[in-house]
Structure 1
Amino acid sequence: MTTPPQTTIRPRERDALLQSLRSGVVPRMGQQHVQVGRVNEVKALLCDINRINDAVARQLVGDYGSGKNSSPSMRASPDRRLHATGGQARSLYTELMRNMASRAKPDGGAMPSIVGRFVSQALTESRDTGAPVESIIRRNLSELSELTGGYGFAEVIAKYWQGHDTDNEQLKSDAVRWLRGEFSTRTDARSALGVRKPSRPSIT
């Protein structure tokens, strides 16, 4: 009988995992050590992510304690709804963006590091090819240009790069605020970033 391989858990990860389980809440890190039997669910979610352009939505349904909350989730409330006319949908989006997590930032707040990494990759490509960083950013995001808000998204990422290149922390912060949906109006967002409203082609 072969001995199964042992898994090494870092003390910080172990302590956070145990504390979450004691408190009865979903662990922010170390879930892979306790979450088992979710192969089919994970495959379905990954398939949906690959089809995200088709606006696929997935609802997780199961008995209490079946592990729904330890999968990708969000909490809705009267102030955070998927569809509303009083800013509740934007509030929900903002909360989701603030809680965006990565392996390096499992507790949320990963948006700046994700954008920074994207810009750093564009900078590396620029050094290798000689192409301007902004051109690379816009090229890599060109597929978004036809989507709602896609043009503005590319512009904001370019503004983040400008802030990075000129050590303008305020511009970088405003770019992240835009991406998180923290500006109350489009006018305020454009004013803070200096982004012009895209012109519409004239019909002759």
Structure 2
Amino acid sequence: MKSMQIPKRLTTALVHSLTAGVVPRIGLEHIAVGRKLEVASILQDMDNIAEGGAAFRLITGRYGSGKSFLLQMIRNYAMDREFVVADADLSPERRLVGTKGQGLATYRELMMHLSTRTRPDGGALEMMLQRWIAGLQQEQMQLSGLVPGDPQLHAAVELRIYAVANELQNLVHGFDFAKVLAAYWSGYKLGDDDLKAAALRWLRGEFPTKTEARRELGVGVIIDDDNWYDYMKLWGEFAVRIGYKGLLLFIDEGVNLYKITNSVSRQSNYEKLLTMFNDTMQGKAQYLGIYLGGTPQFVEDQRRGLFSYDALRSRLMEGRYSSSGSLRSYASPILKLDMLSHEEIMLLLQKLRDIHAMHMGYEPKLVDEQLVVFMQAAVNRLGAEELLTTREVVRDFMDVLHVLHQHPELDYEQLMGEREQEYEASGGRKNQQKDASTDEMDDFLAEFEL
């Protein structure tokens, strides 16, 4: 790490995000530890999706265990591999279905965050369409020698656009989708910004009524709460036809479905999730990956979780051979995030130490033995099990790095001693339980002769 130079914009994003306890959008590869088997499994999904397949995964783990981090890291990998990606967090206002347009709100959020490698921060919809049209124009100019502005060039491009549109017409809602693409092309060709804007509004799910859509675009349907997922399948097909590998959806905070108090509404959302699962598993969707993050309770609670819905429970429950002892299959729909080992956390702390020093412009002063002291203090304060949900540990460690940098007269051991005294004075108590995790910590400490 010390010999590696990371751009300032990346270290800034990493330091600021981790200090605040949120997942950075960029630079994740510089702090990633563990998760090799999970990542390898999802990369295999991407290969399958690029060949016309589909994938559905539930990524589960406790709060702070790294679900959001893994989803964000896979999102970045996908863009590097020329996939279109979209992400959204579920909330009381954003669900899969709802009586007040919560499903459509999720679609709009996904479309707002539609991203590609060249537009990684969202808002890629219009850029994708313009890139597609520009690519077709360039291709036709090379084939025929036509020049920009030539009516024959417009006619040739239009034929190619309608060829793609005709392929989409055979899919559910494909006819109207194709008509809106044609309307966008007409606006592009004629320089009609209003027509282009109307087409983009429709594609983003922003038309409130069918009457308005018919008046402005000649299309008698709109994207709504009932059909938004069908249009996501269309986006996957369309993405491939304009030069991408497919579409991946990253939906986090699935626990908000578990929190729905009305049982009928909750079951309706689980039914929509079942539809997504069946489509991707049975080949009804192509070039589409769906990755949903949630807590184990959201999945396994048989009273309100996904397992309360019999059709989902029968599909998601592990087989008797998929999780036997230390052996695990990473091909199942549920990816359970194991706790990070002490060695992996140690490696993470080393990376954070060096990134902080690089960002602030000083030579790292903390040695590995001091990092182990920090880990030991965290185990004693939080309990070994909580230590391994890394969000709070990372945030505390970033605080230590900031304090030591801003107060150079302060000694590390002095700081740690003061903090522990403050913790005990505030009524905290050290975890005295002797379990497998603390045994593991003792073995780890022995390696450093501490």
**TM-score w.r.t. length of structure 2:** 0.38
What is the RMSD of the two structures over their aligned residues, measured on CA atoms?
Answer: 2.9
Task: Report which of the two has the higher share of helix.
Answer: 2
Counterpart of 2:196 (choices 147, 172, 176) is 172
Q: Which residue does 1:200 correspond to in 2?
A: none
Counterpart of 1:101 (choices 115, 132, 136) is 115
Classify 1:196/1:76 alpha carbon distance in 2 versus 1 (closer, same or farther; 3 Å).
Answer: closer
Classify 1:54/1:190 alpha carbon distance in 2 versus 1 (closer, same or farther; 3 Å).
Answer: farther
Separation in 2, partners of 1:48, 1:177: 32
Q: Which residue does 2:124 correspond to in 1?
A: 110
How do 1:33-182 and structure 2 match up within 5 A?
A: 33-48=30-45, 50-51=48-49, 56-70=55-69, 71=71, 72=75, 73-129=87-143, 132-182=156-206
Q: Please tell me whether the aligned partners of residues 144 and 150 of structure 1 are also in contact (alpha carbons under 8 angstroms).
A: yes
Letter in 1 for 2:57: R
Counterpart of 1:13 (choices 4, 10, 13) is 10
Separation in 1, partners of 2:98, 2:53: 22
Q: 3-state SS of the aligned residue for 1:59?
A: strand
Larger radius of gyration: 2
Gaps of 5+ in 1: 198-204
Q: Please tell me whether the aligned partners of residues 100 and 111 of structure 1 are also in contact (alpha carbons under 8 angstroms).
A: yes
Q: 3-state SS of the aligned residue for 1:69?
A: helix
Q: Please tell me whether the aligned partners of residues 210 and 220 of structure 2 are also in contact (alpha carbons under 8 angstroms).
A: no
Tell me how far 1:69 sits from its aligned partner: 0.9
Counterpart of 1:27 (choices 21, 24, 37) is 24
Q: Please tell me whether the aligned partners of residues 137 and 154 of structure 1 are also in contact (alpha carbons under 8 angstroms).
A: no
Q: Please tell me whether the aligned partners of residues 213 and 220 of structure 2 are also in contact (alpha carbons under 8 angstroms).
A: no
Deviations 1:124-177 (A, max 9, x none): 223234562222123235443222222222222222222222222222222222
Letter in 1 for 2:182: A
Classify 1:104/1:51 alpha carbon distance in 2 versus 1 (closer, same or farther; 3 Å).
Answer: closer
Letter in 2 for 1:140: V
Equivalenced residues, count: 194
Letter in 2 for 1:123: Q
Classify 1:188/1:43 alpha carbon distance in 2 versus 1 (closer, same or farther; 3 Å).
Answer: farther
Task: Report which of the two has the higher share of strand.
Answer: 2
Tell me how far 1:39 sits from its aligned partner: 4.0
Letter in 2 for 1:65: G
Classify 1:36/1:191 alpha carbon distance in 2 versus 1 (closer, same or farther; 3 Å).
Answer: farther
**Larger RCO, structures 1/2 (Cα 8 Å, 6+ apart):** 2
Q: 3-state SS of the aligned residue for 1:57?
A: strand
Tell me how far 1:92 sits from its aligned partner: 0.8
Classify 1:123/1:67 alpha carbon distance in 2 versus 1 (closer, same or farther; 3 Å).
Answer: farther
Classify 1:119/1:36 alpha carbon distance in 2 versus 1 (closer, same or farther; 3 Å).
Answer: farther
Separation in 2, partners of 1:29, 1:142: 38
Separation in 2, partners of 1:143, 1:6: 52
* Mean Cα deviation higher: 39-48 or 146-155: 39-48
Q: Please tell me whether the aligned partners of residues 60 and 68 of structure 1 are also in contact (alpha carbons under 8 angstroms).
A: yes
Letter in 2 for 1:77: S
Q: Which residue does 1:201 correspond to in 2?
A: none
Separation in 2, partners of 1:150, 1:6: 53
